[in-house]
Amino acid sequence: MSNLSDIGTIKDIMQRHGFSFSKGLGQNFLINPSVCPRMAEQCGADARTGVLEIGPGIGVLTAELARRARKVAAVELDDRLLPVLDETLRDFDNVRVVHGDVMKLDLAALIAECFADCEKVAVCANLPYYITSPVIMMLLESRLPVSAITVMVQKEAADRLCAGVGSRESGAVTVAVHYYAEPELLFKVSRGSFMPSPNVDSAVIRLSVREEPAVDVGDEGVFFGMVRAGFSQRRKTLANSLTSGGFLKREEAARALADAGIPANTRIEALDMGQLANLSRNIVHLRCQ
């Protein structure tokens, strides 16, 4: 089998298949030979596990996953890569390549169909950067039967996703990730590890999906609405950020904050998960009155 992280091999494949990189599809292919084996090891791929990969490219990570996992299902949007993957993955009988947009496919049905004989399911991917957060949020919010999500993302996104809730680096996506999972930064990957080389470094993170959400928020719609309103104007005080976008009336915000014991001039980025959940439950309570 050819070495799919070798630049000469990639160029040969591209030439024979008349393939050129699409920037719009986030096509930066891995050329650092140590990265894919590490990702495959650390994502939990083993003989009991089905692995869902998003964006296999020419199959460099897919092959490492297939060597370890029971089964691999790899979703690729770019139809020009399908004949390439036919060629590069032909030695594996446990890989299924699915043509489609990961944001539009019925992943629950795909998992049920492909991984019926697997004890657990993991996601592993070098994500296209233009949809990093939407993909991660879709995977978490749709409550797929997935135990862990191990993904390569831009370093800045990794820092944001893995930041502590209540820290200055946190954002709405940080809170959402901590609600559904326990995030962890596994290792950094330099920009020179990709072809073409992007302008920024990357990192591999793992989100270990919780069996139950981290906190009781009363109502998820209210909780995430509150988090979005708060972080959309994160430099404002909570009394202002929760009211200026119309999420709460001024007197409701004052009451919910007071009941939660949170000073009205606090910024949302200063609240930990327990305080956010408490505030959300108070808003739910107020709305029921």
> Which of 154/278 has CB closer to ligand SAM?
154
Instruction: Point out which span in 25-33, 178-186, 206-214, 269-277 binds ligand SAM (CB under 6 A).
Output: 25-33
Q: Which residues pair with 51 in a beta bridge?
A: 72, 122
Contact 11, 39 (CB under 8 A): no
Nearest to 58 by CA among 35, 32, 33, 27: 27
Token output for 141: 């919010």
Residue 28 makes contact with ligand SAM by CB under 6 A: yes
**Sheet bearing 181-189, strands edge to edge:** 95-99, 71-76, 49-54, 120-126, 148-154, 202-209, 181-189
Instruction: Point out which span in 74-82, 178-186, 201-209, 210-218 binds ligand SAM (CB under 6 A).
Output: 74-82
Residue 126 makes contact with ligand SAM by CB under 6 A: yes
Q: Which residues pair with 76 in a beta bridge?
A: 99
Residue 64 makes contact with ligand SAM by CB under 6 A: no
Residue 75 makes contact with ligand SAM by CB under 6 A: yes
Q: Is the bond preceding residue 196 a cis peptide, omega within 30 degrees? A: yes
Instruction: Point out which span in 19-27, 136-144, 182-190, 233-241 binds ligand SAM (CB under 6 A).
Output: 19-27
Residue 89 makes contact with ligand SAM by CB under 6 A: no
Instruction: Point out which span in 57-65, 86-94, 260-268, 277-285 binds ligand SAM (CB under 6 A).
Output: 57-65
Residue 56 makes contact with ligand SAM by CB under 6 A: yes
* Burial environment of residue 139 by CB neighbours within 10 A (0 to 12, 13 to 18, 19 or more): buried
User: Which residues of the chain form contacts with ligand SAM (CB under 6 A)?
Assistant: 25-30, 54-57, 60-61, 75-78, 81, 101-103, 126, 128, 131
